[in-house]
Amino acid sequence: MATNSLTETPGHTGDLTEPHPRSAPPGKGRTSPVLTLVAAMLGSALITLDASVVNVALPAIGDALGGGMSGLQWVVDAYTLAFAALMLSTGALSDRIGATRAYAIGITVFTAASVACGLAPSLPVLIGARVVQGMAAAVVLPASLSLVRQAYADAAGRARAVAMWAAGGSVAVALGPVAGGALTTAWDWSGIFFINLPLGAVALLLLLRAPRSQRRPAPLDLPGQALAVVTLTALTFAVIEGGTTGLIALVVAVAGAALFLRTEARQPHPVVPLALFRNRTVAITVAAGAACSIAFYGLVFVFSLFFQQVQGRSALWAGLMFLPMTGLIAVTNVVAGKLAARMGPRVPMLAGQSLAVVGLLLLLFAGASTPSVGVAFLMVPLALGCALTIPPLTSAMMEAVPADRAGLAAGVLNSARQVAGGLGIAAFGGLVAGDFVSGMRVSLLISAGLMAVAGLATLGLRRDR
């Protein structure tokens, strides 16, 4: 989720009001700011779309490749976890090798991995290709924002371009379920991956008109990054698989977390500066963002299956049922940003969290016989509530840290939210594996409880702007 949307904003150093330190002077006649912006928007939208387009295709994937509920959870979480964990370091990697090169490598690998997903003969192969997709997406996202920033020399033009970049992600969130349903119905589940091939090719062609990026030294915390990957993977495995192997994975996750905290405390340039969390605003906003991600992404996963497996609807119908909720996100993001600027983050955050709780409780009345269109509109308050919450909490976090820490803070916030969304999918998938409707209602209650707790924590934010 970007600073003003439900899409993701990468951790990046610097300030949007200052010229980008890595920009190379554009070559006469060969670079175009507009085409650079379009290339960056396409890459950002592509990886955002891929995070949501898969949900609606999951039943078709399960029918074709098998694997049960846990396998379907891994199809989603393999991408999400690789994306979230590596995003802690890929901003620095983009600095070291140059944003243009990082973007080209990321899009190329992402496109190739998408083709591998579409051709996957088995579920393990598909999951492995999804991991590669997530790794590439983690490279593309910070590089795409860097390309936008370096293409516009003036602060006003740069701010407008970044707003358009973020809006592209919001559109991708809205179109994801519909596109997934349409492609699965018109083609089959592999269509949701093959569509990335022409889109990736267009992004690379547009990149030819982008200015070449300068490289600059940027520290990498490889031990911390490796421990983060191990810990998050083990924790997700424990939640999805359960049983004896799940217990072993949980032990690995706890040990990995302990080593991670010890390593980060000693690193001069940690991927997650623990001192950030001594700031009350940072701690509250990270927790509130994580609660939103669990509720939003966890429930998109659950209701994608609900419409098809419980109500017997087609993939296209299921995708269309998400349009009322996702279509309002971008507009609500803009309203939330204006409210935060006028009255501070606390009030719009509390309003959004309260609306989300009400929406989650209303969804408790949804059942197998409830008209699908009715369920679609019952999901709207949850989406509006999260869309009202995210921009103010992001602004609050950015205001709470020094300017030279803003990029790191953004990376930590968005990684935490991605991880939380993945864990929500893991937990809720396990709950609905038995009696679906009962498990769905328990998932709704858990989400409502987390949002309510986050709302109570939000009361601790300062009242002023």
Q: Clarify whether residues 295 and 206 are in a common domain.
A: no
| Domain assignment of residue 203, given as a range | 28-211
Nearest CA among 200, 178, 218 for reference residue 320: 178
Question: How far, in Å, CA of 205 to CA of 198, rounded?
Answer: 11
Nearest CA among 142, 115, 120, 136 for reference residue 198: 115
pLDDT of res. 168: 79
Q: Clarify whether residues 300 and 260 are in a common domain.
A: no
Q: Clarify whether residues 398 and 447 are in a common domain.
A: yes
Give SS3 for 300. helix
Nearest CA among 276, 291, 275 for reference residue 457: 291
Q: Clarify whether residues 290 and 309 are in a common domain.
A: yes
Question: How far, in Å, CA of 73 to CA of 126, rounded?
Answer: 12
| Domain tally, the chain | 3
Residues contacting 188, CB < 8 A, separation 6+: 60, 64
Backbone φ/ψ region at 242: left (φ over 0), alpha (ψ -120 to 50), beta: left
Q: Clarify whether residues 186 and 232 are in a common domain.
A: no
Nearest CA among 102, 135, 107, 146 for reference residue 12: 146
Give SS3 for 379. coil
Q: What global pTM score does this model have?
A: 0.83
Nearest CA among 385, 365, 386 for reference residue 375: 365
Q: Clarify whether residues 142 and 113 are in a common domain.
A: yes
Give SS3 for 465. coil
**Residue 284 belongs to some domain of the structure:** yes
Q: Clarify whether residues 351 and 426 are in a common domain.
A: yes
Residue numbers in the chain where pLDDT is lower than 50: 1-5, 7-29, 465
| CATH classification of the domain holding 152 | 1.20.1250.20
Q: Clarify whether residues 261 and 280 are in a common domain.
A: no
Question: How far, in Å, CA of 27 to CA of 30, rounded?
Answer: 6
Contact between 209 and 147 under an 8 Å Cβ cutoff? The reply is no
Question: How far, in Å, CA of 213 to CA of 326, rounded?
Answer: 35
pLDDT of res. 366: 93
Give SS3 for 190. coil
Residue 273 is which amino acid? Answer: P
**Residue 4 belongs to some domain of the structure:** no
